[in-house]
């Protein structure tokens, strides 16, 4: 007999409340979240546990957690159909992370490039949490028996270590965790800094001209795109080494759906001025509806709290099933 009620595959992804998301977060991850939210059983969340590796001011962390949550709803995620939650509201994340810490080798965690990059950025605070970050991320993913994780390319290595940890645990104790696959969108996979286009755009960058925040107004967006670093050739086409132009072409393509060929044709014989105006306008059009919906939601704290509670309850239900299974396998006494 045909089964029309076939269970949907599971998608999970989290974002840290370390600042307002950038155009990079949006095109690399968040836009895919929205695209996947209908066809999959989705868990999306605010990774506040992860964000304390850089010791934010407590009041800032609280405010940013609420803001990031509102932004997820502003994307159009349905908090009743999808599960939209705050990581620290689901204790199973930290509990499984401890268990998996004991099944992760020091050597393999030391190879993570994000750990190396972030230790260099914050040499005065290279804490054990920063080192164990990928294990907490593995717990986030494995708790939900996740099939796909929509991420930017910078997180691919963390997905590989997640698979290795899960595989090792399954090998020792029998099938416990599903092995997840990364879902990396094509053109938005890595949006680069507007000021140093060989580095990825990051919301924690100290130079605000380097990134576009998804809440920047039209005027600010136009200014930032106009001052983006390019080159002296004044010709719009893709080529290795033309990092600034390649990046703007990628952004334009993500916002308009146009291919590289179409973009090259459109700006044939025109300079960077026309090109940047078009890119800026496309970005403004893409982000405007998100910003308007965010401004509406952020003033309704009661609604946000209600949704957070529902999200925490739904996420805990699934997460605890996996946690109990893992605890039993390891040999913790059940009472």
Instruction: Enumerate the active-site residues.
Output: 118, 200, 203
Minimum CB distance to ligand ATP smaller for 191 or for 282: 191
Confirm if 151 and 19 have CB atoms less than 8 A apart.
Answer: no
72 sits near ligand ATP (criterion: CB under 6 A)? no
Q: Given candidates 201, 212, 315, 323, which one binds ligand ATP under the rule CB under 6 A?
A: 201
**Minimum CB distance to ligand ATP smaller for 184 or for 319:** 184
Q: Which of residues 29-68 bind ligand ATP (CB under 6 A)?
A: 29
Query: CA-CA distance, 170 to 309, in Å (whole number)?
Result: 32
If one asks whether residue 246 binds ligand ATP (CB under 6 A), the answer comes out as: no
19-27, 136-144, 214-222, 271-279 -> range binding ligand ATP (CB under 6 A): 19-27
CA distance 278 to 264: 13
Report how far residue 176's alpha carbon sits from residue 103's, in angstroms, rounded to the nearest whole number.
14
Nearer to ligand ATP, 53 or 145 (CB): 53
Among 24, 56, 79, 197, binds ligand ATP (CB under 6 A): 24
Nearer to ligand ATP by C-beta: 202 or 322? 202
Nearest distance from C-beta of residue 216 to ligand ATP, angstroms: 15
What backbone torsions phi and psi does residue 110 show, to the nearest 5 degrees? -65, -20
When the beta carbons of 18 and 322 are compared against ligand ATP, the nearer one is 18
Return the closest-CA partner of residue 16 out of 7, 24, 25.
Answer: 25
200 touches ligand ATP (CB under 6 A) = yes
- Give the total of residues touching ligand ATP (CB under 6 A): 21
Q: Which stretch binds ligand ATP (CB under 6 A): 65-73, 152-160, 163-171, 173-181?
A: 152-160
Interface map 156-195 toward ligand ATP (x if CB under 6 A): --------------------------------xxxx----
Binding site residues, ligand ATP, CB under 6 A: 15-16, 18, 22, 24-25, 28-29, 151-152, 154-155, 188-191, 200-204
């Amino acid at each position: 007999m045909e089964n029309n009620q076939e269970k949907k595959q599971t998608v999970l992804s989290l974002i840290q409340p370390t600042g307002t998301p950038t155009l990079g977060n949006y095109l690399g991850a968040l836009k895919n979240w929205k695209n996947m939210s209908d066809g999959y059983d989705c868990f999306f969340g605010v990774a506040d546990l992860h964000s304390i590796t850089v010791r934010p001011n407590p009041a800032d962390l609280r405010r940013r957690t609420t803001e990031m949550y509102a932004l997820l709803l502003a994307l159009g995620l349905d908090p009743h159909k999808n599960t939209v939650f705050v990581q620290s509201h689901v204790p199973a994340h930290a509990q499984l992370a401890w268990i998996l810490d004991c099944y992760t080798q020091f050597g393999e965690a030391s190879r993570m490039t994000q750990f190396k990059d972030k230790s260099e950025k914050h040499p005065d605070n290279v804490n054990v949490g920063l080192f164990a970050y990928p294990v907490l991320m593995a717990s986030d993913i494995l708790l939900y028996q996740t099939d796909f994780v929509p991420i930017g390319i910078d997180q691919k290595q963390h997905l590989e270590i997640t698979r290795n940890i899960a595989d090792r645990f399954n090998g020792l104790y029998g099938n416990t965790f599903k092995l997840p696959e990364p879902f990396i969108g094509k053109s938005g996979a890595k949006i680069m800094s507007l000021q140093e286009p060989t580095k990825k755009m990051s919301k924690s960058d100290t130079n605000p001209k380097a990134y576009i925040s998804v809440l920047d107004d039209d005027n600010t967006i136009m200014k930032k795109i106009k001052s983006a670093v390019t080159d002296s050739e004044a010709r719009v086409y893709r080529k290795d080494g033309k990092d600034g132009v390649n990046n703007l072409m990628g952004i334009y393509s993500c916002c308009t759906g146009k291919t590289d060929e179409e973009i090259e044709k459109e700006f044939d014989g025109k300079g960077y001025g026309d090109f940047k105006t078009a890119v800026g306008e496309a970005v403004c059009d893409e982000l405007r509806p998100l910003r308007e919906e965010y401004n509406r939601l952020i003033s309704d704290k009661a609604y946000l709290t209600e949704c957070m509670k529902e999200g925490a309850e739904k996420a805990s239900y699934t997460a605890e099933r996996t946690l109990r299974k893992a605890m039993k396998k390891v040999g913790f006494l059940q009472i």
